[in-house]
Amino acid sequence: MIESIKSQLDNTLEKIDLKISDDHYSGKVRENFYLDDKIVMITSDRVSAFDHILGTIPFKGQILNEIACFWFNKTKDIVPNHFISSPDEQVLITKKAKTLPVEVIVRQYITGSLWREYKQGINGQYGFMLPENLKENQEFDKPILTPSTKAEYGLHDEPISREKIVNSLVDEKIYSKAEKYALQLFDAGQKWANKMGLILVDTKYEFGVYDDELIVIDEIHTPDSSRYWVKDEYIDRYNKGIGQKMLDKENIRKWLIEKGFQGEGIPPKLTDDIRILLSEKYMELYKKLLGEDFVPSVGNVQSRIERNLSKIELLK
């Protein structure tokens, strides 16, 4: 597999220019082309952290897209979602929903950005206080919700309380349903991860309204939107006060922090070594989570996407 990764280093999808629609939005990772009532979502190989696009990781887009498809199918009877079809390994056709202006983040452990804030004495930013004397990677008694605003590229998502959301951003009835859906999805994700030898530590959900129905959009439980640890190693590592074995995007955040970057200034250039390592971590998670080997689609990604979209007559 290492040879496949190396051969793909120069074939990753960073940008894509397709004649699908004049209404086009380029996000941190996805390229969205808007049609009348649908979205063509192309998952690039870009990797972002601390609200900066850093470069590309071989096969990242394919892994994210296939994991998202797995979860959309697995949870469709729990919470309605935007998935229609996937005509290519890195493409989704979805319903065009009106996006809620907040991300609903569910956490079972204090780690990552929440721990970094807590360690600095920041508490109460979500409208409730965390207990005193928590330790890094400690499990909460029950999952907590720590929502954030949705920022444009280059700006930071900001913590926000439930009170502010329902007073100024989202109707209380709709947001309550989003909270309920988020906890139901998280419970399903935790149960499946546990069965596969993993811990679903935390995750973020995005929601939208389509035909007057609240649905989950974007992605579900991918290594970009979620944090996964290896279950068997959690207790021992926690008791020893050492970091958990991570199979997610936190690996790139850790690498950046070691390089002295946490969002301010210009991020360091990704080396081929870290790009290969991250690709391997994403593949490892894919195998553990889905219970099957990842089959990489080697070669020029844009050409493949163009061929597959031409087959369903989506290109102008």
DSSP 192-230: HHHHTTEEEEEEEEEEEEETTEEEEES-SS-TTTEEEEE
Q: How many residues does the chain have?
A: 316
Backbone φ, ψ for residue 309 (5° rounding)? -75, -30
Rounded to an integer, the average pLDDT of 90-94 is: 98
Asked whether residue 115 carries a pLDDT value surpassing 80, the answer given is yes
Task: Please tell me the distance from the alpha carbon of residue 198 to that of residue 229, in angstroms, as a whole number.
Answer: 6
CA separation for the pair 224, 22 (Å, rounded): 28
Contact predicate 316/19, CB 8 Å = yes
The model's pLDDT over 133-142, given as tens digits with 9 standing for 90+, comes to 999 999 999 9
> Which pLDDT score is estimated for 130?
97
Cα–Cα distance measured from residue 138 to residue 235, given in angstroms and rounded to the nearest whole number: 10
Cβ neighbours of residue 237 closer than 8 Å, sequence gap 6 or more? 137, 243, 244, 245
Model confidence, pTM? 0.93
Check residue 296 and give left, alpha or beta (phi > 0: left; psi -120 to 50: alpha). beta
Check pLDDT > 80 for residue 159.
yes
Which residues, at least 6 apart from 281, have a Cβ–Cβ distance to it below 8 Å? 223, 246, 247, 248, 251
**pLDDT above 90: residue 154:** no
> Residue 63 and residue 252: Cα distance in Å, rounded?
16
Distance CA 202, CA 105 (A): 7
Predicted local distance difference test score (pLDDT) of residue 56: 96
Confidence of residue 152 (pLDDT cuts 50, 70, 90): low
Whether the pLDDT of residue 264 is over 90: the answer is no
Question: How confident is residue 251, by pLDDT bands cut at 50, 70 and 90?
Answer: confident
Beta strands 226-230; 198-210: pairing state? antiparallel
Phi/psi-derived region of residue 64, left when phi > 0, alpha when psi is between -120 and 50, beta in every other case: alpha
Report the SS3 class of residue 282: helix
What the chain holds in terms of domains, given with CATH numbers, is 2-311 (3.30.470.20)
